């Protein structure tokens, strides 16, 4: 985390920063899915729930998500961690990082480094757990992370309740504004990167919004507003290529079978004539 500025620096307008959403922005797919896989290995998440989340994760990568789906995932996640020792979750951190780091986009790391070279501090702002967000920010050499915190009781177990705002949608703006005030950040001069329409409040909270692998609704808004757009998510194109290949193969097999059937029908009369002779 960066040092706080003096009152004079804050009054002078502070400094610009760059805020990065995590899922489908800094990394391919969802950090929550990587956490869920590790949690399944620890017996916290069942196989059926993991399978349901895997399907949801594929849908998310292809089409984005909705507020309703996000709320449902949060509800189930809060139920699953209720009563789980915070220490057990903390000890999963290295495994979760090992799964997340290979999915970080090199193009986005270049963006992070460009801002740092220009003197702008960089932060992750995500609905993911605060421990994951802060740990990833440290590993990537960023200046800090702002994630969702969960309440821990006196016995050191998660209660299933939030210990602050859900850092999603308007909650991201609330967290960013509080953080910016404390750190002397001028949001009007700052940058924000995200992929989803749900982060429209976050993008509008800064002077320089950037849409990264945007879902269709956000992509349309970015075009209308003239925002910078970065695209390098290839899963959809890969799946489309596979689908086209499967269709072409199926069409080829169908044509081959039809050709064989025509040849067989054509040969049948000749065979009949030979037998009659």
What are the catalytic residues?
A: 21, 23
Which of the 8 DSSP states describes residue 206? S
* CA 91 vs CA 49, 86, 236, 249: distances in Å: 22, 9, 34, 47
* CA 98 vs CA 50, 109, 144, 211, 218: distances in Å: 19, 17, 19, 27, 30
Give the C-alpha separation, 219 to 258, whole Å.
44
Give the C-alpha separation, 90 to 121, whole Å.
26
* CA 129 vs CA 133, 159, 192, 267: distances in Å: 6, 14, 20, 70
Which of the 8 DSSP states describes residue 4? P
Give the C-alpha separation, 93 to 233, whole Å.
26
H/E element, 229: strand 228-230
């Amino acid at each position: 985390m960066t040092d706080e500025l003096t009152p004079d620096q804050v009054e002078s307008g502070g400094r610009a920063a760059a805020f990065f959403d995590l899922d489908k922005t800094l990394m391919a797919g969802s950090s929550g899915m990587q956490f869920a896989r590790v949690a399944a290995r620890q017996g916290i998440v069942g196989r059926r729930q993991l399978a349901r989340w895997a399907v949801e994760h594929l849908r998310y990568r292809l089409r984005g998500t909705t507020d309703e789906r996000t709320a449902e995932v949060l509800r189930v996640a809060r139920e699953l961690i209720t009563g789980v020792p915070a220490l057990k979750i903390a000890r999963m951190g290295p495994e979760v990082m090992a799964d997340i780091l290979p999915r970080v986009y090199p193009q986005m790391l270049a963006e992070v480094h460009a801002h740092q070279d220009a003197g702008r501090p960089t932060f992750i702002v995500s609905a993911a757990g605060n421990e994951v967000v802060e740990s990833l920010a440290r590993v990537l050499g960023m200046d800090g992370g702002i994630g969702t915190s969960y309440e821990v009781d006196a016995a050191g177990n998660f209660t299933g309740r939030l210990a602050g705002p859900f850092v999603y949608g308007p909650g991201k703006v609330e967290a960013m504004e509080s953080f910016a005030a404390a750190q002397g950040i001028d949001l009007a001069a700052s940058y924000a990167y995200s992929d989803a329409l749900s982060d429209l409040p976050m993008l509008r909270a800064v002077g320089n919004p950037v849409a990264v692998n945007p879902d269709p609704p956000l992509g349309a808004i970015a075009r209308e507003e003239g925002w910078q757009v970065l695209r390098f998510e290839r899963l959809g194109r890969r799946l489309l290529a596979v689908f086209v290949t499967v269709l072409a193969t199926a069409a080829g097999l169908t044509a081959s079978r039809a050709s064989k059937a025509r040849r067989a029908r054509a040969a049948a009369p000749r065979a009949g004539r030979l037998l009659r002779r």
